Structure 1
Amino acid sequence: MTTLLECKHVSKKYGHGTKALSEVSFAVQEGEFVSIIGPSGAGKSTLLRCINRMIDASSGEIIFDGANVLDLRKKELKKLRTRIGMIFQHYNLVNRLSVIENVLHGRLGYKSTLAGVLGLYTEEEKQQAYSILQILGLEDHIYKRCDQLSGGQKQRVGIARALVQNPKMLLCDEPIASLDPNASRVIMEHLKNISSTMGITVIINLHQVDVALKYSDRIIGVNKGRVVYDGTPDGVKTYELQSIYGPDFGKTTGEQGGQHAG
């Protein structure tokens, strides 16, 4: 397998000395489905945003597809981001626009500013957007405004927008945190399917341990900005979960105990 992404000793320090990430190192192969789990505030979202440089890491190296992300200038970074799709917890859609218009926004990274402002898309791009929406079961909603959709449908629009970029990798930041269990299952099935049939690498932040264990090829456990587990789902036992979530994991109700049931 080919290594697509390598993080080497990545740290992120905020102004007043708070370390969000501390010496994070791991490599991800092409087509791999990797879940990052850990308590709130562990650094999961920061890590994802450092990979595509929505946030600048303070030190270390992030090598994606042969390029050191931290060294790229603005134009090179724009080009790199076309190959990294991003899926957000709160969808980041333009509610007043239709589903197809939102999906086509995924092509903006390939266009000049003027073409983007004028919404100039080729027939081929429109056809590709339509095909992706069909795969995601949204063909009946193509011309609906996004504010008329359910949360699960909005998240599928977000996935379609990322896929129309023709990415090599999808970064998914808590994509099911706002969804009910049924909508969550649909989203996870689609992401797994995208990874296995299209060969797209998926890195996903999840709160729900059981979901991570079910769908992932690999689990990375993060606590206080450090990687404390990196291995297969089979290797995640109570001891590992306690090193990720703290010694009370599974013993209490509320968020910590609910992680396993979530």
Structure 2
Amino acid sequence: MALLELKNVTKYYNQAIPALDNVSFSVDEGEFVSIIGPSGAGKSTLLRCINRMVEANSGEISVDGVISSSLTKKKLRTLRTKIGMIFQHYNLVDRLTVIENVLHGRLGYKSTLAGVLGRYSQEEKKQALRIIRILGLEEQVYKRCDQLSGGQKQRVGIARALIQNPKIILCDEPIASLDPNASKIIMDHLRDISTVMGITVIVNLHQVEIALKYSDRIIGVNKGKVVFDGSPCDLTAGQIQAIYGSESENLIFDLGQRHAG
């Protein structure tokens, strides 16, 4: 059984044009899937519908065999512990330290009072330190997050997602604000999370060449529709044209350069 399944998911922000139009696909455990497409294609809406940050108008989404659309708030909170989320702009609390931000990933397991009081077990603190070390942030453990670089902040975001012990990590343009070196570090970590830890990773990307390099599978979205779903080696210049339209010329050149190399 697929870990994630979408059936005919449609989302309107206004009644004229759908942000998502009858989207269907499934993702298996441990897959690394990149979702590509131009700005406004529906990529962010798609991820936010998966964890119900945004409510779909119709269709069905199931995570680990549970249909999310029918869940009460309490059961949705439990389901969300299985779904880590990484954001383009990090969504950290800047005045708090790295380890405090990472431990926020455990809030879904806490009562409201325990969360407010910051009551974490010794095991949770040890797990946070283990993950921080894996991500190369051991020297920043007690630094405030407003003292970190963008790449370091994004690694804190990854650590916060990992401490949930998720089955899926959703990444919304995680490298859009980063330089090439920081971007490579982030993508290498995400790839390791998929291959070494066996966690499903779904990444929204604008950069086709990065999707080609890291993904097991690429889903191309245009105007809310899935227009490509397949292996990176099956992505052709014609399919890039279908995904990106008028933006595709430079991307097709890059694809040609890559194949030539």
What TM-score results when the alignment is normalised by the length of structure 1? Answer: 0.95
Alpha carbons of 1:160 and 1:259: their partners in 2 closer, same or farther (altered >3 Å)? farther
| 2:69 paired with 1:70 | yes
Shift of 1:237: 1.1
| 2:235 paired with 1:236 | yes
Question: Secondary structure at the residue paired with 2:62?
Answer: strand
1:31/1:200 contact within 8 Å kept: yes
Unmatched tracts of structure 1, length 5 or more: none
C-alpha RMSD of the superposition: 1.4
Counterpart amino acid of residue 42 in structure 2: G
Residue in 1 that maps onto 2:123: 124
Q: Distance in 2 between matches of 1:131 and 1:18?
A: 46
Q: Percent identity?
A: 69
Residue in 1 that maps onto 2:35: 36
Residue in 1 that maps onto 2:13: 14
Residue in 2 that maps onto 1:202: 201
Alpha carbons of 1:50 and 1:112: their partners in 2 closer, same or farther (altered >3 Å)? same
Counterpart amino acid of residue 62 in structure 2: I
Q: Distance in 2 between matches of 1:248 and 1:198?
A: 36
Ranges of 4+ aligned residues in structure 1 off by more than 4 Å: 256-261
| 2:220 paired with 1:221 | yes
Q: Distance in 1 between matches of 2:246 and 2:169?
A: 32
Shift of 1:248: 5.5
Q: Distance in 2 between matches of 1:249 and 1:142?
A: 42
Q: Distance in 2 between matches of 1:224 and 1:96?
A: 39
Q: Distance in 1 between matches of 2:72 and 2:112?
A: 18
Q: Distance in 2 between matches of 1:115 and 1:17?
A: 45
Q: Distance in 2 between matches of 1:258 and 1:187?
A: 25
Counterpart amino acid of residue 70 in structure 1: S
2:104/2:160 contact within 8 Å kept: yes
Residue in 2 that maps onto 1:53: 52
Shift of 1:259: 8.1
Q: Distance in 1 between matches of 2:14 and 2:74?
A: 27
| 2:26 paired with 1:23 | no
Deviations 1:227-261 (A, max 9, x none): 0000000011100100000155125xxxx679869
2:85/2:171 contact within 8 Å kept: yes
Q: Distance in 1 between matches of 2:101 and 2:242?
A: 41
Residue in 2 that maps onto 1:107: 106
Counterpart amino acid of residue 39 in structure 1: P
Residue in 2 that maps onto 1:154: 153
Question: Secondary structure at the residue paired with 2:3?
Answer: strand
Alpha carbons of 1:258 and 1:101: their partners in 2 closer, same or farther (altered >3 Å)? farther
Question: Secondary structure at the residue paired with 1:41?
Answer: coil
Alpha carbons of 1:99 and 1:259: their partners in 2 closer, same or farther (altered >3 Å)? farther
Q: Distance in 1 between matches of 2:20 and 2:99?
A: 37
1:207/1:259 contact within 8 Å kept: no
Shift of 1:14: 1.5
Question: Secondary structure at the residue paired with 2:55?
Answer: coil
Deviations 1:18-50 (A, max 9, x none): 310000000000000000000000000000000
Q: Distance in 2 between matches of 1:246 and 1:157?
A: 35
Q: Distance in 2 between matches of 1:104 and 1:185?
A: 25
Counterpart amino acid of residue 11 in structure 2: K
Alpha carbons of 1:120 and 1:259: their partners in 2 closer, same or farther (altered >3 Å)? farther
Question: Secondary structure at the residue paired with 1:250?
Answer: helix
2:240/2:252 contact within 8 Å kept: no
Shift of 1:17: 3.1
